[in-house]
């Protein structure tokens, strides 16, 4: 995480420590993207100058105020982006979406 502020580094380390996925790998694409993968990518963390964007997949449409943007990628797949700029932004709801995305990719969730 070259040339990132202490806050961004702290946010990322805290976020990473909150994840509780069974089996995954991290792939870092310099200078600023970290992919979390199992069978395929289920979460992406994009380090910005003053915030972090978290991208995750769901199999349903999500209407939540904290969603910065979304894209429907197929009939039953949406990708969402949530920005965080302080530790309090990393709440249980966000962690649950990340877990659901992991479960969806690893087929632990029955599709709706």
The pTM score is 0.88
Which range of residues forms the domain containing residue 35? 6-105
CATH number at residue 63: 3.30.1460
3-state DSSP assignment of residue 27: strand
Tens digit of each residue's pLDDT (9 = 90 or more) over 25-76: 999 998 899 999 998 999 999 999 899 999 999 999 999 999 999 999 999 9
Is 1 contained in some domain?
no
In whole numbers, what is the pLDDT of the chain averaged over residues? 90
Reported in sequence order, the residue ranges of 12-104 that DSSP labels E, i.e. its strands, are 25-29, 33-37, 41-47, 52-58, 67-74, 77-84
**Does the residue 20 lie in any domain?**
yes
In a domain, residue 62? The reply is: yes
Quote the number of domains for the chain: 1
Give percent of the chain with pLDDT exceeding 90.
Answer: 76
Contact 88, 60 (CB under 8 A): no
Using alpha carbons, select from 81, 44, 75, 45 the residue that is nearest to residue 62. Answer: 81
Structure confidence at residue 20 (pLDDT): 81
């Amino acid at each position: 995480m070259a040339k990132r502020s202490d806050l961004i580094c702290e946010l990322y380390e805290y976020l990473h420590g909150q994840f509780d996925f069974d089996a995954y790998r991290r792939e870092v694409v310099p200078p600023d993207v970290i992919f979390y993968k199992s069978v395929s990518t289920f979460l992406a963390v994009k380090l910005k100058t003053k915030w972090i964007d978290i991208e995750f997949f769901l199999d349903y449409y999500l209407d939540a105020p904290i969603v910065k943007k979304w894209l429907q990628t197929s009939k039953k797949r949406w990708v969402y982006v949530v920005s965080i700029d302080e530790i309090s932004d990393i709440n249980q709801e966000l962690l649950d979406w990340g877990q659901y995305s992991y479960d969806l990719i690893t087929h632990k969730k029955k599709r709706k």
